[in-house]
A and B are shown apart, each in its own frame.
Chain A
Amino acid sequence: MDILSSLAHGFSVAVTPTNLAFAVFGCFLGTIIGALPGIGPVNGVAILIPLAFALQLDPTTVLILMSCIYYGCTYGGRIASIMLNIPGDASSVMATLDGHPMAKAGKASEALAISAVASFIGSTVATIGLTLFAPLLAKAAIYFGPSDYFALYILAFVMIGGITGANPSKTLLAAFLGLIIGTVGLDPGTGVARYTLGSFNLYDGFDPIIAIVGLFAISEVLVYLETSNHATGTLVPMGRAVPRLRDMLPGTGAAFRGSLIGFISGILPGAGASQGAFMAYVIERRVSNKDNTFGKGDPRGLAAPEAGDNAAAGGALIPMLTLGIPGSGTTAVMLALLISLNVQPGPMLFERQPEMVWGLIASLYIANVVLLVMNIPLVGLFTRMLSMPQWILMPFIIMVSFLGVYSISHSTFDLLVMIGVGIFGYLLRKIDISLVPVVLGLLLGAEMENSLRRTLSISGGDFAILFQSSIAVGLYLVTFFVLVAAFTVAFRDRGRAAIDQGSSPISKP
């Protein structure tokens, strides 16, 4: 078995003392980041990237650390959902529906245990899926030429636009804004300075990492400051500190069903973890809600979305690693990290740096076990952290963001760029323009332009070459259908909203 021997090699990379230590540390940190409301996985990973970068760790170690933080976040998000009825991150919203009622009924400890097991099942299903499918997809992707990649990038933007936003035209505009910002700086092909306005500081363009920290962390603080009275929520008493084994079992079946749904939703670019959790909950309710217990503390209503959330988070790693196209906000941020480490994700990653990819996959298996152990006996520790006041947490987040950005370049200009981008991100969020496509555009713009230009140098400038490969034509067809579907749904919703006035659109970050 090719995969097994690769995986065995991966474990030999993952169990070196340094990598193992960073994996455990990442799991711990990730659970905290996930648990604290006000700092989600995107912000958490974004803030920590400059630091990981400045510490000059080995790229494999950095990738392991960040992925463990990422997995940890998906475990931690449910804690606040259950104990406070405030989701720790966007994808844990569904866990409040049945998790909090359980906790209020005196079963907080059971709810935490059930959801920890569900998280474990979801993440493990996704990790196994990653092990099996990622190499296959990477093999198929080798047949992709530059024109096919160009088509794939277009599809990725349209998928994100079609699925994430309430208003697809705004999401697509966001992608174009990102691409436009991405062209600032010296043109890599010819060395012409584009849109630098004569400033030498802009010759290198906008560093995606600095832009990401600003877009997510600074804008988050501004959003937080909007309301003066925050629902702090009161902690539900924990009950039993270490749950009994038989308390963990209800909902296992629901967790497996949720995992499959979440995993598929995670692979699709743009769907992401929130969608995975949502779909898993809706479908589980349809299948199992025979006695009308959902929403009142049914363990299956907690296990399904929690497993779906985690499986989607793991599944989102597949397109990111194999195609270089992230399936969610957090994987987009991780892609930024890889690019800054001079690692180009995509099919060649599996060929050229197998120890990195397989080391990562192996450490995800280890992370899952570590996280399960951390989240069952130690969950009380994380729960206690929920009472940390915001006037400590927010300044801490801000200062770590500044520290990270400052440590990259030691430049005041970059700090100001970060603040400026943060204000820009805040304004975009206010008018309901999603930030993830902006980041994607900024990240993928250079590679997209590069693939277009390589394609056209093959044909000597003839645009017909873009439609000559059958892979590309297939991708354009899918793009077309996604676009039609997205706009049809948007127009139908808009028409419906006009009929029953008063339903305000829910804004997403």
Chain B
Amino acid sequence: MSDRVAGLIFLVLSIWYGVTAGNYEASFGDPLGPAAFPQMLAAPAGLFSLYMILRPDPDPEWVAGAPAVRQLATLAVLVAYAFLLEDLGFVLATALGVALLGRLLGSGWGKSAVSGVVMSVGLFVVFDNLLGLPLPLYPGIMG
């Protein structure tokens, strides 16, 4: 079933990809133009997707329950980190991120908090001070 769903998504994507390519035109340049290569990719990609729908492999074991919740929570932390990195500044955002991730990976609050603080300060010192990669130090609102 998983293969059928994935195959269907890829098939739709390939068709859309091939059809959209038809719109790309250039009046100059080489004889092939920008449309031909994508069209050449779309056809076999669509065929292989179709094959996946017709001859699917057995389903993998999808995660459920607590591990799935942990995966989603981890992704939420990562997305939040991406958005908050510049607003909170590197040290604060990283300390929070590492602490939460550590907690999600099964460590206690105390240990996670310590590793968050140590890692964020350590990474900042190594990368900003020693290696010269500029990182946002202060929270963005403080200017």
B51 on the interface (CB 8 Å rule)?
yes
Q: Is A394 an interface residue (CB 8 A)?
A: yes
Contacts A173-B45, A176-B45, A460-B31 given; does A430 touch B85 at CB 8 Å: no
Which A residues are CB-close (under 8 A) to B67? Answer: 225-228
Q: Which of A172, A407, A412, A457 contacts B48 (CB 8 A)?
A: A172
Is there contact, CB below 8 Å, between B115 and A167?
no
Main secondary structure of the interface of B (DSSP, over half): helix
Give, as a whole number of angstroms, the nearest-CB distance from B124 to chain A.
10
The distance in angstroms between the C-alpha atoms of A456 and B40, with both chains bound, is 14
Whether A192 pairs with B24 at a CB distance below 8 angstroms is yes
Which residues does chain A contribute within 8 Å of B41, judged by CB atoms? 176, 179-180, 183
Does B71 lie within 8 Å of A226, measured CB to CB? yes
A-B interface pairs (CB < 8 A), number: 176
- Please, which residues of chain B bring their CB within 8 A of the CB of A390? 105-106
- When the two chains form the complex, which single residue of B52, B63, B78, B83 contacts A398, counting CB atoms closer than 8 Å? B78
A403 CA / B70 CA spacing, docked (Å): 23
**A 445-468 contacts with B by CB, 8 A:** 449, 452-454, 456-457, 460-461
User: Which residue of B is nearest A433, CB measured?
Assistant: B6
Q: Report B76-123 residues with CB < 8 Å from chain A CB.
A: 78-79, 81-83, 85-86, 94, 97-98, 101-102, 104-107, 111-112, 115-116, 119-120, 123
Instruction: Tell me the count of chain B residues lying within 8 A, CB to CB, of chain A.
Output: 68
Q: Knowing A176-B44, A192-B24, A419-B78 are in contact, say whether A430-B2 is a contact too (CB < 8 A).
A: yes
- Are A192 and B26 in contact, CB atoms less than 8 angstroms apart? yes
A-B contact pairs, 24 of them (CB 8 A): A167-B57, A169-B52, A170-B52, A172-B48, A176-B41, A177-B45, A180-B13, A180-B38, A189-B26, A190-B28, A191-B26, A192-B25, A218-B78, A228-B70, A391-B107, A392-B102, A396-B98, A402-B81, A406-B85, A419-B78, A431-B3, A452-B32, A453-B32, A456-B31
Q: Does A194 contact B75, Cβ atoms closer than 8 Å?
A: no
Interface residues of B in 56-76 (CB under 8 A from A): 57-58, 60, 62-63, 66-67, 70-71, 74-75
Q: Does B142 contact A (CB under 8 A)?
A: no
Q: Does B139 contact A (CB under 8 A)?
A: no
Q: Is the CB of B62 within 8 A of A412?
A: no
Instruction: Kindly state whether residue A204 has any CB partner on chain B within 8 Å.
Output: no
Question: Chain A residues near B6 (CB, 8 Å)?
Answer: 427, 431
Q: Are B24's CB and A392's CB within 8 A?
A: no
Per CB-CB distance, the 10 closest pairs between chain A and chain B, nearest first, are: A461-B31, A190-B26, A415-B82, A391-B107, A173-B48, A176-B45, A391-B105, A395-B101, A187-B34, A190-B29
C-alpha gap A389/B114 in the complex (Å) = 14
Task: Assess the B85–A395 pair: CB atoms within 8 A.
Answer: no
| Complex interface: chain A residues within 8 A of B33 (CB) | 189-190
Nearest chain B CB to A422's CB is how many angstroms away? Answer: 8
Asked whether any CB of chain A lies closer than 8 Å to the CB of B133, the reply is yes
Which chain B residues border A394 with CB–CB below 8 Å? 101, 105
Please, which residue of chain A has its CB at the minimum distance from the CB of B66? A228
Instruction: Give chain A nearest CB distance to B101 CB in angstroms.
Output: 4
From 5 to 34 in chain B, residues with beta carbon under 8 angstroms from any chain A beta carbon are 6, 10, 13-14, 17, 20-21, 24-26, 28-34
B127 within 8 A of A: yes
Chain A 409-435 residues near chain B, CB threshold 8 A: 412, 415-416, 419, 423, 427, 430-432
Complex: how many Å from CA A254 to CA B105? 41
